[in-house]
Amino acid sequence: MLEAREGAIIQSVNRLLAEKGFESMTVDEVAADVGIAKASLYKHFPSKEDLAAAAMVSVMRRAQAFLDTLPAGPSPMEQLRAVVRWTMGLKLAGEMPSLPSQNSRLRSALMGNKAYMDGLIDVSDRLGAWIEAAQAQGALNPKLPPIAVLYTLYARACDPVLEFLKMSGLYRDEEIIELVMTTCFDGLKSR
């Protein structure tokens, strides 16, 4: 029962973070959405930052599980493209939390969360290895520091272009993903 309730809380937080972002989401909204008292919510998660950290741990575990499903055969570039495509799909489906990059309390909560940090290191190491391999093969610009490429790929998880294109009503989700994939991996320069 406790795990089911925590799962419902995390699912609610994840959705609210995707819809509203960290700053606008309130603990009262989470409690109301789950149908529990605010005091009960605090028994599971002592702060708003801990709620966001739990949502990010959930996303990180999903990312690790997705990486585990990727076949070993495709090129490193295809692996990277698959991860970015999956991430943007989550974002468009409202399943990717939007977190601020400059909230020190939230950053401290995330950095102090072992499960989150372990997941982040694992995902970063896997993506980093693919980035370096793709650079060695000439599929990615070898002049770019791998960390800059990694952060650029991570940024697709919170890319506002996805929402702007979706709000325009001009494109289906699959088309939006293809447009952003093209700008991300092929750039804007005419070929």
Domain CATH code at residue 144? 1.10.357.10
Residue 3 placed within a domain = no
Which H, E and C letters describe 87-117, residue by residue? HHHHHHCCCCCCCCCCCHHHHHHHHCCHHHH
Residue 81 placed within a domain = yes
| pLDDT at position 134 over 90 | yes
Number of domains in the chain: 1
Nearest to 83 by CA among 94, 68, 95: 68
Neighbours of 116 (CB within 10 A): 22
Contact by Cβ (8 Å): 117, 139: no
Which of 15-19, 65-69, 151-155 is the least confident region?
Answer: 15-19
Q: What is the pLDDT at residue 33?
A: 93
* Residue 81: domain span: 48-186
Provide the pLDDT confidence category of residue 191 given band limits of 50, 70 and 90. low
Residue 36 placed within a domain = no
Bigger pLDDT: 46 or 102? 46
**Mean residue pLDDT across the chain:** 91
Provide the pLDDT confidence category of residue 190 given band limits of 50, 70 and 90. confident
